[in-house]
Amino acid sequence: MTEEIIQITLSNGMKVLLKEIHTAPLVSSWVWYRVGSRDEVNGRTGISHWVEHMQFKGTPEFPASVLDKAISREGGMWNAMTYLDWTTYFETMPADKIDLGLRLEADRMVNSAFDEQEVGSERMVVISEREGNENEPQFQLGEAVQGAAVRVHAYHHEVIGDMADLHSMTRDDLYEHYRTYYIPNNSIMAVAGDFDTDQMLERIKELFEPIPAGAEPARLARPEPEQKGELRLSVEGPGETTYVQACYRFPNASHADFFPLAVLDSLLAGPSNLNMFGGGISNKTSRLYRALVEKELAVSVSGGAQATIDPFLYSINMTIHPQRKPEDALSALDNEIKRIQDEQVNEDEILRAIKQARAIFAYGSENITNQAFWMGYAEMFADYNWFLSYLDNLAAVTPADVQRVAQQYLLPKSRVVGTYVPNGGEA
């Protein structure tokens, strides 16, 4: 797999990354905008996600009724995602059809209509999505824990937003958000696949360079203060299953400790997949699986780390065995963490954890769509060199590094523990 890419910034400030891959007659094109729930204030939570929905409602040139049919007819796929720090749109198509995707993205960077009636209908779609999430115990628990663990920073709220804001935001609110953040100097285009670089760059310039730069968006500056002690909470709701989530403060992706913590995550719970739509691998060799699932304290256990611009959270999620109490599982979790803090992990176990973390990273980086994803994704919180050096940074992690970050970050005084307590009722 070649790692050579071409990087250029257009005259309007839009950064373009191109990578030729001639293994299949496909091209994957992504446009990333530096806007997500991190940029939202109370009263407008969920606005980035809602604007993403509106980008599929069409423009005068590409009405909504023809968009999906046009992509499908040409044998392509397309989608979009909104997260904490970013919103992205992509098309993966036969190489000779990718121009449709390029034209579509250039057009909807400027010409999305935000029709009042479409805004109203999409309001109900997003509200229904929120209501569906609220029927899920793990969403209820995760939202409560996140809100308690992050009080000041805008990572406090879920990407989908608060129900009150979904009811109150207006068409003008959405359109203002769109016009503020959907500008070329706040975006990155990443294209990978079977194309000629000179021809692709010429076409991108032709389509995107005429779009004028906008004012640099203002950014919220609300650093999260240090937590002053462990917080515990419970959420009650329907069902028969008890869940526990323990969240610890976690550094941003560009911090040097991100890499030993990624190995610690692999050792404890099995490696997290940083690719948002990649698959997973078995965590049956992880310490928490052996301590919790094999000893029937929990039905399942998983860890979750994210690559973010600002410090966020590392979560450990446990589905409690029906015959056990959540306190038993939490005690076993604490014992495993203390073991790592007190006794340096042997070299062989660290190497296995690194190998698994490397494997899941490789699995999420191999096809053309994934490679184009990573080109833009890494730019959202660092740069493409972060991606290129990721495996080397993992390989450099030592047992002493893992012990140090366990001692520094996995402390009860800086965590939030939430328990979902089922009441036996139906949702």
Mean pLDDT of all residues in the chain? 94
Of 278, 310, 327, nearest in space to 381 by CA: 310
CA 249 to chain CA centroid, Å, is 17
| CATH of residue 368 | 3.30.830.10
Is 81 a domain residue?
A: yes
User: What residues pair up with 422 in beta bridges, in sequence order?
Assistant: 237
End-to-end CA distance of the chain: 48
- Last residue in a domain, options 208, 241, 269: 208
What pLDDT is stored for residue 1 in this prediction?
41
Distance CA 251, CA 226 (A): 13
What pLDDT is stored for residue 290 in this prediction?
97
Is 414 a domain residue?
A: yes
Range with top average pLDDT, 57-61, 241-245, 345-349:
241-245
pLDDT in tens, 376-419: 999 999 999 999 999 999 999 999 999 999 999 999 999 999 99
What pLDDT is stored for residue 20 in this prediction?
97
Q: Which percentage of the chain shows pLDDT scores above 90?
A: 87
Is 137 a domain residue?
A: yes
On the question of pLDDT at 14 being above 80, the answer is: yes
Residues 380, 304, single domain; the answer is: yes
On the question of pLDDT at 171 being above 60, the answer is: yes
Average pLDDT estimate for 132-138: 96
On the question of pLDDT at 285 being above 70, the answer is: yes
**Which amino acid, one-letter code, is at 173?**
D
Domain range for 255 is: 231-422
What pLDDT is stored for residue 277 in this prediction?
60
Region of residue 43 (phi > 0: left; psi between -120 and 50: alpha; otherwise: beta):
left
Average pLDDT estimate for 175-196: 98
Distance CA 52, CA 178 (A): 9
Residues 238, 308, single domain; the answer is: yes
Residues 262, 198, single domain; the answer is: no
What pLDDT is stored for residue 427 in this prediction?
59
Is 56 a domain residue?
A: yes
On the question of pLDDT at 2 being above 60, the answer is: no
Distance CA 292, CA 296 (A): 6
Q: Which residue matches tokens 């793990």?
A: 138
pLDDT in tens, 330-341: 999 999 999 999
Residues 171, 260, single domain; the answer is: no
On the question of pLDDT at 364 being above 80, the answer is: no
The H-or-E segment that residue 16 falls in is strand 15-20
Is 156 a domain residue?
A: yes
Give this prediction's pTM.
0.95
Average pLDDT estimate for 236-256: 96
Please state the domain count of the chain: 2
Distance CA 280, CA 218 (A): 37
Spatial neighbors of 143 by CB under 8 A, at least 6 apart, are 158
Is 1 a domain residue?
A: no
pLDDT in tens, 368-383: 999 999 999 999 999 9
Is 384 a domain residue?
A: yes
Is 406 a domain residue?
A: yes
Residues 131, 27, single domain; the answer is: yes
pLDDT in tens, 91-129: 999 999 999 999 999 999 999 999 999 999 999 999 999
